[in-house]
Amino acid sequence: MAEAPDPAPPPTLVAATDRGRSRTRNEDAHLVDASDGLIAVADGMGGHPAGDVASAVAVEEVARHLRGPASPEPLGERMLHAVLRADARVRDVGSADPARHGMGTTLTALIAPPGAGRVVIGHVGDSRAYLFENGRIRQLTRDHTWIEQQIATGALTRDEAHGHRWSHVLTQAAGAGDEIDPDVLELEASPGQVYLLCSDGLTNMLTDLAIERTLGDTLPMGLEATAWALVDGANDRGGVDNITVALLRVD
């Protein structure tokens, strides 16, 4: 009798999303592409028209530019151009339909091409990228918000900013407002690293310490279990917004 095949190894890229406990629809979008080592999370701007369309268009456009065969363009520049093209595409789609005029979205994308030995992140808005390594979490991106500007200039302390009524006012978003100036980060990839991208539906409900503890407790059970543990944790604490997480483990 033939032996049963070995079970498939756990995935190295996963995502999970939920509309939360207060919203009637999910305006987040995400992408997971194992062949190119690509993940992305976008959060359509609440209170603006067609946020779900904006986030889906942004993720689709950034993937279109980053997927496929290697390009002679340096990976960091390729990521920058991908985010800028996503911004332009969201603007174009919004301009073509009066019902969608002014739509916008956050966008955080990460690519770790197989064998490249590095990770590149592109970012605009207040979705975030984290690195979990050696049991500790580190926020890699900075929020493009009015609050973060005030903290950076010393006008507000971190404690004063907590719960501020303008805490969610974005200073940059793809497709809305002024032209964007995306952040691009390049890091060396090391086996065992876990990268987390998430919408603010996660970080508004869970502290960095709570996220760190959840990662440490659940990663031995696999990335998918970890992704849903994070989503469930945010819902357990209120789930006031859509929640999306994407995880990539460097093997």
Q: Report yes or no on 50 lying in a domain.
A: yes
Range of the domain at 244: 13-249
Domain-located, residue 7 = no
pTM of the model: 0.92
* Model pLDDT for residues 87-122, shown as the tens digit of each residue: 999 999 998 988 888 899 999 999 999 888 999 999
CATH of residue 61's domain is 3.60.40.10
User: How many angstroms separate the Cα of 51 from the Cα of each of 46, 93, 129, 175, 242?
Assistant: 7, 12, 21, 10, 12
145 half-sphere exposure, CB direction, 13 A CA radius: 20
Please tell me the predicted confidence (pLDDT) of residue 8: 47
Q: What is the pLDDT of residue 176?
A: 85
90 domain-assigned:
yes
Confidence of residue 163 (pLDDT cuts 50, 70, 90): low
Q: Is residue 160 part of a domain?
A: yes
Is the pLDDT at 3 greater than 70? The verdict is: no
User: Does 66 map to a domain?
Assistant: yes
Question: In total, how many domains does the chain have?
Answer: 1
pLDDT (0 to 100) of residue 135: 96
Q: What is the pLDDT of residue 166?
A: 73
Sheet with strand 183-188: strands edge to edge: 28-33, 38-43, 107-111, 118-124, 183-188
pLDDT tens column, 223-247:
999 999 999 999 999 999 999 999 9
pLDDT tens digits, one per residue of 171-211: 999 998 788 999 999 999 999 999 999 999 999 999 999 99
Structural domain includes residue 2: no
The answer to the question of residue 3 being in a domain is no
User: How are beta strands 194-198 and 107-111 bridged, if at all?
Assistant: unpaired
| Residues 54, 213: Cα–Cα separation, whole Å | 33
Return the higher-pLDDT residue of 173 and 70. Answer: 173
Instruction: Please give the mean pLDDT across all residues of the chain.
Output: 90
Give the pLDDT confidence score for residue 169 in this predicted structure.
86
Q: Tell me if 6 is assigned to some domain.
A: no
